[in-house]
Amino acid sequence: MQDSFKTTCCYCGVGCGIVVHRDRLGKLTVEGDKDHPVNRGMLCSKGMNLHYTVMDTSDRLLHPEMRYNRNLPRQRVSWDQALGRTAAVFSQIIRRYGPESVAFYASGQCLTEEYYVVNKLIKGFIGSNNIDTNSRLCMSSAVAAYKMALGEDAVPGSYDDIEHTDCIFVAGANPAWCHPILWRRVEAARAANPRLKIIVSDPRVTQSCAMADVHLQLNPGTDIVLHHALGRILIEKGKTDPAFIHQHTEGFEAYREAVMQRSIEEAALICGIDAADIYAAAGHIAGAKGFMTMWTMGLNQSAVGVRKNLSLINLHLITGHIGKPGSGPFSLTGQPNAMGGREVGGLANLLPAHRVLDNPEHRREVAAFWGGGELSPKPGLTATQMFEAMHSGQLKAIWIMCSNPLVSLPDARFMEAALQKAMFVVVQEISNKPETLRYADVVLPAAAWAEKEGTMTNAERRISYLTKITDAPGEALPDSEIICRFAQKMGYHGFDYPHVSAIYEEHCRLTAGTNIDITGLNYNVLREQRSVQWPYPAGATGHGTPRLFTDHQFYTAHQKAVIHSFGDENTSAPPDRDYPLILTTGRIRDQWHTMSKTGKVSKLKQHIDAAFLEIHPDDARTRNIRQNDMVEVTSGNGMVRVKALLSTTIKKGVVFLPMHWGKILNNDLHRANNLTNNLVDPVSKQPDLKFTAVAVARY
Ligand code: SF4
């Protein structure tokens, strides 16, 4: 006898459907949902082992805790005491230093309802816009580029386009490891259509290159040079779409001038690749009836991340490959609900339903809807700015929920020093492992995946409902309930929701009349349809909107997409004599972010169980480094000591460290972000995590 529940994987932005079975003893097992349109029954290694993260509660936080002095251990307290004291301290700090002296740092793993209430709390009632999330580290460059080019933060297509395309350009991503089920669909599409061409640009030969017709193993930071070169060839060969450019875009002439600044041979030299390979890639794009691009952090996590994104989107706008089957730019979301967070406005510069802070009408609409008073026009602090403001003493209190910033933020030792200086730190978490707990004055135990219900939006605008399957251990509560209880302790009205579904319905109402209108949704519709793609306005039926811009009317002022033009320079701090190599960081196949969940599943350690430095044998030889030697990696910001993995799969002059490992027994020498610097893209404020000048020596 067993119960079965349909829900959604909580790891990456692919958003696979999962069936969870619970036997009469409460034991859980999982399998892929064969009826789910995303994964059609498939799951990757992380999804297949998701139930272990719920059943093993040995690391779970079970009770609220607090302390009055950081030199003392925290004591178990009641929810009432923990939230009462937190409300008292927040009120006092806000009274004394103003609303901008407090901040919330949340996560792309929060459910949409959780994002919604915390955003409403700080913007609508506390009166500051100091909310940002780890999505700032993930997608913010893509978001800014979509808005600049298409007039809206909107992924135009669907995963189904994979089955209709005949050319996919994967730029700065390794979906075979990081979005595995999506990649299984690419492999299946290739098997069904051997003419499907795959182009990959990456300084490393990754698993995603195995199927590539062309691998452009470019130097880090040279993506814009490559994209411009592809644009130049398409223009010179007459492979653009002049009618589309004329009717549906603006900015082409300036773009043409910009891409003509470099010859293809010069571009190839800068990128460190063969000109013939650039021509081959351009030929595949030129010959395609459907052309898709997929990208993630290789473009986004950059000092010029927005420009890298725009230069790629431009290839669609000059060829007209957007808004039709098998075509379109497709940013792959790293986290399960980064998109849902943006839908509710959960970033320092946003308001609900993709409204923006600097629009007075938007502020008035939202303030009237929430009824908490005027909204501040001043942008809040972004992820890295929050920690800088704590370091300087400007930000007094921070509330960190569902995120592990002392592993994931750049320049981690600086961030740690900043947290140490904060006057008051609240950590809302499921696990007792994150480094942030060391600095917490108040710890609030949160419910995990399968222990609460809510919604998430995946990378193709698909909103899925997540079912509650089991009770949270101890006194842990859903994050939305914790925030609502706190808001009520602060004396704010509008947070006494009878059920989490009421939060969702309020969010849906606030989208009325916007480009992301989902007023036709509620939990009943989502349970019935399993998942839908936005927009889904009142009266909509079925599974929503699989493709945007089919009429080529964009969300810009003139309904035309904008082809932006700019130079191709990279503004990262370049390598020099002291730090001659370029470090790039990233994920491995079986671990997820900072390993709070995947790190406790022994099966997932069988693939790779320790941090390592991937280095080219030629770079190793000149440093007298052999396979498995311990090496010391240093940058202007810090140091890491790990074993060397010699491999010809990485470009000479480049080294790679996985980003997952934090402190192990107080030792932070595996933490990749000891090395990275806090340079950010000037528009998106996304950190430059893929380009750090380092030195490597045998230890
Ligand atoms: Fe989960 Fe992503 Fe794996 Fe799908 S591909 S099972 S969403 S981790």
Distance 53 CA to ligand 1 centre (A): 14
Report how far residue 369's alpha carbon sits from residue 507's, in angstroms, rounded to the nearest whole number.
10
Q: How far is the CA of 42 from the centre of ligand 1 (A)?
A: 9
| 103 and 399 Cβ atoms separated by less than 8 Å | yes
From the CA of 43, give the closest atom in ligand 1.
6
Q: Please name the residue whose Cα sits nearest to atom 6 of ligand 1.
A: 47
User: How would you classify the pairing of strands 355-356 and 397-401?
Assistant: unpaired
pLDDT in tens, 192-238: 999 999 999 999 999 999 999 999 999 999 999 999 999 999 999 99
Whether 146 and 270 have beta carbons less than 8 Å apart is answered as: no
What Cα–Cα distance (Å) separates residue 599 from each residue in 447, 594, 595, 603, 629? 18, 8, 4, 10, 24
Residue nearest to atom 4 of ligand 1 (CA): 16
Say if residues 654 and 584 touch (Cβ distance below 8 Å): yes
DSSP state string for 142-198: HHHHHHHHHSSS-----GGGGGG-SEEEEES--HHHHSHHHHHHHHHHHHH-TT-EE
Distance (Å, whole) CA 354 – CA 676 = 31
Return the pLDDT at 26. 87
Pick the atom of ligand 1 nearest to 11's CA: 8
Residue 470 neighbours by CB distance under 10 Å: 17
Cα 182 to averaged position of ligand 1 atoms, centre (Å): 8
Q: How far apart are CA 419 and CA 423, in angstroms?
A: 9
Q: How far apart are the first and last CA of the chain?
A: 57
Average pLDDT, the chain: 96
What does the pLDDT look like over 67-83, one tens digit per residue? 999 999 999 999 999 99
Angstrom distance (rounded) from CA 540 to CA 533: 11
pLDDT digits 0-9 by tens, 337-393: 988 999 999 999 999 999 999 999 999 999 999 999 999 999 999 999 999 999 999
Structure confidence by residue, pLDDT tens digits, 258-313: 999 999 999 999 999 999 999 999 999 999 999 999 999 999 999 999 999 999 99
Confidence band of 105 (pLDDT split at 50, 70, 90): very high
- Of 682, 696, 617, 610, the residue nearest 652 (C-alpha): 617
Give the Å distance between the CA of 34 and the centre of ligand 1. Answer: 14
Instruction: Please report, for residues 141, 221, 259, 600, 672, the alpha-carbon distance to residue 298 in angstroms, rounded to integers and kept in the order given.
Output: 11, 9, 21, 28, 16
Please give the number of the atom of ligand 1 that sits closest to the Cα of 32.
6
Residue 665 has pLDDT above 80, yes or no: no
- Mutation pick for ligand 1 pocket among 8, 20, 31, 44 (CB with most ligand atoms within 8 Å): 44
Please answer whether residues 488 and 508 qualify as being in contact, where contact means their C-beta atoms are separated by less than 8 angstroms.
Answer: no
Confirm if 447 and 479 have CB atoms less than 8 A apart.
yes
Residue 32 C-alpha to ligand 1 middle, in angstroms?
Answer: 10
Confidence of residue 663 (pLDDT cuts 50, 70, 90): confident
pLDDT category of residue 253 using cuts at 50, 70 and 90: very high
- Best residue among 7, 138, 181, 456 to mutate for probing ligand 1's pocket (most ligand atoms within 8 Å of CB) is 181
Q: DSSP string covering 72-136, please?
A: SPPEE--HHHHHHHHHHHHHHHHHHH-GGGEEEEE-TTS-HHHHHHHHIIIIIII----EEEGGG
**Whole-number Å distance between alpha carbons of 40 and 29:** 18
Per-residue pLDDT, averaged over 636-650, amounts to 97
CB atoms within 10 A of CB 288: 22
Give Dmax (Cα) for the chain: 71
How much distance in Å is there from the Cα of 135 to the middle of ligand 1?
A: 18
**Rounded Cα–Cα distance for residues 607 and 624 (Å):** 28
Place of tokens 């502020």: 363
Q: Are 228 and 271 in contact (CB under 8 A)?
A: no
Q: Where does ligand 1 bind, in terms of residues with CB under 6 Å?
A: 9, 11-12, 14-16, 39, 43-44, 46-47, 179-181
Number of C-beta neighbours around residue 6 at 10 A: 19
- Quick: pLDDT tens for 425-468: 999 999 999 999 999 999 999 999 999 999 999 999 999 999 99
Cβ-based burial of 298 (10 A; exposed 0-12, middle 13-18, buried ≥19) = buried
Nearest to 596 by CA among 14, 81, 109: 109
pLDDT at 178 over 70: yes
Provide the angle, in degrees to the nearest 10, between the axes of the packed helices 479-489 and 112-119: 20
Beta carbons of 296 and 331 less than 8 angstroms apart: yes
User: How far away, in angstroms, is 168 Cα from ligand 1 center?
Assistant: 21
Mean pLDDT along residues 656-682:
91
Nearest residue (by CA) to ligand 1, atom 2, is 12
Q: How far apart are CA 616 and CA 96, in angstroms?
A: 55
Strand partners, 169: 199, 293
Q: Which residues contact 130 (CB under 8 A, 6 or more apart)?
A: 99, 100, 102, 103, 104, 122, 348, 380, 381, 386, 395
Q: Can you give the pLDDT at residue 188?
A: 97
Contact between 206 and 174 (Cβ < 8 Å): yes
Rounded to the nearest angstrom, the distance between the alpha carbon of 661 and the centre of ligand 1 is 20
Q: Which of 221, 218, 171, 217 is nearest to 198 (CA)?
A: 171
Ligand 1 geometric centre to CA of 76 (Å): 36
Which atom, in ligand 1's list, is nearest to the CA of 48?
A: 6
Of residues 631, 650, 626, 649, the one with CA closest to residue 696: 631
Q: What is the ipTM of this complex?
A: 1.00
Mutation probe of ligand 1 site: the residue of 8, 10, 16, 660 with most atoms within 8 A of C-beta: 16
Q: How many CB atoms lie within 10 A of CB 387?
A: 30
Name, in order, each residue with C-beta under 8 angstroms of 312's C-beta and a sequence gap of 6 or more: 169, 171, 223, 227, 293, 295, 299, 329
Rounded distance from Cα 181 to ligand 1 centre (Å):
6
- The closest alpha carbon to 677, from 418, 384, 442, 429, belongs to 384
| Number of neighbouring beta carbons within 10 Å of residue 42 | 20
Q: Report residue 595's pLDDT band, with 50, 70 and 90 as the boundaries.
A: confident
Nearest-atom number in ligand 1 for the CA of 182 is 5
Report the nearest-CA residue for atom 3 of ligand 1.
44
pLDDT (0 to 100) of residue 599: 87
The domains of the chain, with CATH numbers, are 2-55 (3.30.200.210), 88-129+381-426+451-457+462-471+478-533 (3.40.50.740), 141-335 (3.40.228.10), 581-698 (2.40.40.20)
The atom of ligand 1 lying closest to the CA of 180 is 5
Report CA(687)–ligand 1 centroid distance (Å): 25
Provide the pLDDT for residue 1.
Answer: 62
DSSP assignment of 311-374: HHHHHHHHHT-SSSTT-EEEEPPSSTTHHHHHHTT-STTEEGGGEETT-HHHHHHHHHHH-S-P
Q: Which two tokens stand for residue 654?
A: 């480049």
Beta bridge partners of 28: 22
Give me the mean pLDDT over the 663-690 stretch: 92
> Mean pLDDT throughout 644-654?
97
